[in-house]
Structure 1
């Protein structure tokens, strides 16, 4: 065999092996979602790629047959030509036996390096740059190889499936897309500049609708402004003036005996013509809206569905004992979803003091605290809704002023108490990089 013939056959084998290597990576790394986008844009070969991905065992078998066959032929070629060529070059420089051994080692290294570099590494790295496009380009040739090697594919696949079933191993992969996968893709898109910061926060908040309970966004019982049917007009006017809201609960004696609610616009329409207190007293007969009552165990997504079913935007939240724990509106849920994009707050619950410390209201939802502080997990996640609840969980009792605890690399210190209620905390990032929870610190 001449040197030109050797080089031609070697290049041909390298290209063949490169094709199979690129096909393997491209078909494995290509995503169905992106292939579907290409199909929608008018690329019919995307269907063929998706068909190949439905039977991964088939194209993997074809790839392995091709790669191994080419590797064997390359070894034979190196042994038959390159070995003798190198031996002739080395004989004047060394003993014939040593020259033959060095030629064998040299031919092995040359063929191996050539196949690793040009038939494996480079094609796979190029295929990883845009796997969907590469997969579309090799789809037709790969289908031809599948048909040509069908008998061998059937034989090898049958033996592989038999082995896997013998050891009770899965024979097919199930491609599932979880919320974590989507979040990771969104995060990568934000880092690449494809998504803006506001869009990233919005998508993250959508996934939190399933994990956050309705109690995390409600107006708490102690902060609910309500009227009683025995209340006089002066008191009602004072409440409206001091705490203007779009809706007010109306109760019989106290907040646990709710009759309904009244819209501010209905009150304004009646104020000019009737005594305001009489409007409230006759609420159960004339002006009461159908009251939506939901349990405090619902998450935000479930609460949103209840609002949609009831075609209402205001609900009372009760606990398992039938006591009112708070109220929630559709705007509260939208605010949790949109963050401060469309509902900027003039009275932020989390105020940054400097680079390492924050002042946090005790009623701040724990998910908001974790997001601002970039904390993945706190001790007892799911056992409390607010940062005050976290302090109670950590200390195992009602906190006192200046008491503190450390967790996830931060120190949480109570700075204000209002009648057993944790009103405000100071959160400070610790100098150490430790992220493990430590014992509660005593004053």
Structure 2
């Protein structure tokens, strides 16, 4: 074969090797979420890629056939092509007895370099840079190769699946996307500077809605301002003035008998217009949905959506009221510090480096701020006050404290057995070995 034809053959083999390399890495690196988006935008090729990802056995069989065939042919064609060329170039400087060996080695190194660089490394880097767009472009040609090589692919697939089953490994690709995958992607985006810290926190808080229960965001019953059916006009006006909420529960006798709610705007309008009103008027009271305290925030959000509501009473398994929750409470959980004023913040760092924490602060917020990971048995309590009770194994009193992971938690304000304020201070555990309960 003429040397020019051999060089053309080598270039074609390098191109074929690059094709198989870029096809392999682009399909393996294509993200299911992005392919699904392309499919929804009407790209039929994205559906073909997704289908091939579900059963990738034939695809990888074709890839291996192609790569190995190219490598073998490259060695057959490449060595005799460049060895004579190097013999002529090296003849003046190389001893005759070593000329053949050195020329062969030089030819081997050149061909190997060409295939590694242009048939492997560069194609794979290109494929990793835009895997989805490249995979959809190559999918039809790959399906064509799978079709014409079907007998050989079938044999390789059967043998490889048998070996995979023998080893106890799955034969199908599992591309299910989990919430952990999304959080990891968001964290990577934040670390790379693609997401602002506030955006990262908001997305992570949205993912937390599935695991956070209603008590972590509700207003506890002792802080709920409500009206009774026998409430006087003066008492109603005073409560609205002292606690200017948009909506107030209406109860029969006590908070455990909620019958509905009234909108403060309706009350104000009637007062301005000089009209009298009575809470005993059933047409004046709107129905108030009840939700169990065992629901997650995402489930409550779905309930609000279905019932077109933004306010609900929270009850426990004994049908007793434990609090109320609003749509704004859930949104505040998602947005965090973005929608809180300094006066509303539940975790405040003081000038001396210590933290002042409200007892009703959700334990998830404490874990995030202090980077504790998962606190001991944190599924048994919802707030930092519950964490204090769990660690101390009693109803805490003023000045009760313990040390956990180098932080001292101390009760500094208690109201009727309810922990109101907690002081958290960074300490050296070696200097405080016997202060309260210590946990590792």
TM-score between both structures, scaled by the size of structure 2: 0.82
**Counterpart of 2:424 in 1: which secondary structure?**
strand
**Structure 1 equivalent of residue 367 of structure 2:** 370
Match of 2:389 among 383, 386, 392: 392
> Residues 291 and 52 (structure 1 numbering): CA distance in 2 closer, same or farther, change over 3 Å?
closer
**Structure 2 equivalent of residue 16 of structure 1:** 16
1:108, distance to aligned residue in structure 2 (A): 5.2
1:387, distance to aligned residue in structure 2 (A): 1.2
Q: Does 1:178 align with 2:178?
A: yes
Alignment check: 8 A CA contact 2:251 2:260 kept: yes
CA–CA distance in structure 1, aligned partners of residues 40 and 151 of structure 2: 35
**Mapping for residues 216-365 of structure 1, pairs under 5 Å:** 216-229=216-229, 234-268=234-268, 272-274=274-276, 279-280=278-279, 282=280, 287-341=284-338, 344=341, 346-354=343-351, 356-365=353-362
TM-score between both structures, scaled by the size of structure 1: 0.81
> Residues 71 and 308 (structure 1 numbering): CA distance in 2 closer, same or farther, change over 3 Å?
closer
1:213, distance to aligned residue in structure 2 (A): 1.0
1:92, distance to aligned residue in structure 2 (A): 8.8
Q: Does 1:414 align with 2:411?
A: yes
Alignment check: 8 A CA contact 1:26 1:132 kept: yes
**Structure 2 equivalent of residue 69 of structure 1:** 69
Instruction: Report Cα offsets for 1:206-226 as digits up to 9, x if no partner.
Output: 222211111111111111223
1:120, distance to aligned residue in structure 2 (A): 1.6
**Structure 2 equivalent of residue 143 of structure 1:** 143
CA–CA distance in structure 2, aligned partners of residues 126 and 431 of structure 1: 52
Higher alpha-carbon deviation: 202-211 or 235-244: 235-244
Higher alpha-carbon deviation: 61-70 or 393-402: 393-402
**Structure 1 equivalent of residue 432 of structure 2:** none
CA–CA distance in structure 1, aligned partners of residues 141 and 78 of structure 2: 28
Alignment check: 8 A CA contact 1:90 1:103 kept: no
5+ residue gaps, structure 1, are: 433-437
1:189, distance to aligned residue in structure 2 (A): 4.0
CA–CA distance in structure 2, aligned partners of residues 441 and 32 of structure 1: 46
1:24, distance to aligned residue in structure 2 (A): 0.6
1:176, distance to aligned residue in structure 2 (A): 0.9
CA–CA distance in structure 2, aligned partners of residues 430 and 111 of structure 1: 64
CA–CA distance in structure 2, aligned partners of residues 273 and 92 of structure 1: 113
1:361, distance to aligned residue in structure 2 (A): 0.8
**Structure 1 equivalent of residue 152 of structure 2:** 152
**Counterpart of 1:364 in 2: which secondary structure?**
coil
1:119, distance to aligned residue in structure 2 (A): 2.1
CA–CA distance in structure 2, aligned partners of residues 144 and 379 of structure 1: 56
1:326, distance to aligned residue in structure 2 (A): 1.1
